[in-house]
Amino acid sequence: MRQERRNTWIVTVVGAVVGVAYGLTAYALFDRAGDLMIWSFLLLVPFALGVTSGALTRREEGFGTVALRVLLSVMTFALTALLLAWEGLICLVFALPILYLAAFVGGGLGFLLRGRSTKVGAVMLALAVPYVAAPLERARSVDATYRTTQNSVVIQATPADVWRQIQSVPRIRDDEFTPSWSHAIGLPRPVAAVLDRAGVGGVRTATFADGLSFRETVTVWEPGRSLAFRIEARDPGRLDRHVRVGGETFDVVSGRYDIESLGNGLVLLHLTSTQRVHSHVGRYVGWAVNAIMSDLQQSILNVVRKRAQSEPGMTRSRAFIE
């Protein structure tokens, strides 16, 4: 029994090492060829890794052993990529679910093939398919898509009080933020948004931690009702390259605040942003972008709510009032 367990762990470790080596090699080759954000890498590479792990399973071992090997291989690959600074935490958090799912399915197929004479051929085919599919996928042109994300918050204040908080935002203190998972995985926190002059054509300079900033040119100026702006990102390159704002894959192009009076001293503040997504895996990237933007926007709205409700006159002397 002890020998069997020892053999199981040896095979598990060897499988993980082989899987990680294959994954890292594929990463380097796909990256050099152009882009990792294609299904051939995100689905077919971990699928092949899973098939290999499943095929290494002995007849007396159960599928639970395959699932463990697949998990170990995927997690080791992700940690290695993180330690080598090939990828940042933001990308890995969103990539891991799909990587593991594809590897898990591949592991199931490999498990079914174990002990059969066709398993070697199946493994070789699975390992080769990503490299055949990738050029075909890259040759297919994709159009950019535009998505909107909207968040809302109820505030016990007047429209005028809320307006003063959104048009120009003084520096945000650390204690004004509520816990946010997007910031925990590496998204910079907003610092301030300073408006140079009132009215359409005015420019808000929104600054974030780590040097990220946005030039926001006002396109709609309706005091107490609506504020909209066109956005130009200035990303110094500290974010993961696949989520770099203003890059080929992703950009934030516009933002808008709308103040809706509910009566009884309450208003409903809406914050809407429009993003451009350009990727062969556009739907998956779009889902990730929407999740991040929603969490970011909600944290901003929470700051506005706290300021408007606790100290409505706090920024009165610093803001433009019209």
The SS3 assignment for 45 reads helix
| Structure tokens belonging to residue 57 | 């399973």
309 class by beta-carbon count within 10 Å (0-12 exposed, 13-18 middle, 19+ buried): middle
Average pLDDT, the chain: 86
pLDDT in tens, 23-43: 888 888 887 776 778 899 999
**163 or 62, which is more confident:** 163
**6 or 122, which is more confident:** 122
Per-residue HEC secondary structure of 158-204 comes to CHHHHHHHHHCECCCCHHHCCCCHHHHCCCCCEEEEEECCCCCCCEE
Least confidently predicted of 6-15, 41-50, 209-218: 6-15
* Residues 181 and 188: beta-carbon distance below 8 Å: no
Mean pLDDT of the 309-322 span = 49
| Structure tokens belonging to residue 164 | 């003063």
5 class by beta-carbon count within 10 Å (0-12 exposed, 13-18 middle, 19+ buried): exposed
pLDDT at residue 316 tops 70 = no
Question: Is the pTM value of this prediction over 0.85?
Answer: no
pLDDT in tens, 225-248: 999 999 999 877 667 666 778 888
Is domain 145-310 given the CATH code 3.30.530.20 in the classification? yes
Q: Which residues of 17-31 are buried (b: 16+ CB within 10 A; e: fewer)?
A: eebbebbbebbeebe
Q: What are phi and psi of 169, to 5 degrees?
A: -110, 110
Quick one: pLDDT band at residue 7, thresholds 50, 70, 90? low
Partner residues linked to 267 by β-bridges: 155, 261
Contacts of 10 (CB under 8 A, 6+ apart): none
Quick one: pLDDT band at residue 6, thresholds 50, 70, 90? low
The candidate with the shortest Cα–Cα distance to 89, out of 79, 99, 102, 77, is 79
| Structure tokens belonging to residue 36 | 């990792």
* Residues 225 and 245: beta-carbon distance below 8 Å: no
Quick one: pLDDT band at residue 11, thresholds 50, 70, 90? low
**210 or 16, which is more confident:** 210
59 class by beta-carbon count within 10 Å (0-12 exposed, 13-18 middle, 19+ buried): exposed
Strands of 213-222's sheet, edge to edge?
145-156, 266-277, 250-263, 226-234, 213-222, 203-208, 190-195
| Structure tokens belonging to residue 20 | 């990680």
What is residue 58's predicted lDDT score, i.e. its pLDDT?
Answer: 73
The candidate with the shortest Cα–Cα distance to 106, out of 51, 64, 52, is 51
- CATH 3.30.530.20 positions along the chain are 145-310
What is residue 207's predicted lDDT score, i.e. its pLDDT?
Answer: 95
**Alpha helices by DSSP H, 34-85:** 39, 45-55, 63-83
What is residue 308's predicted lDDT score, i.e. its pLDDT?
Answer: 95
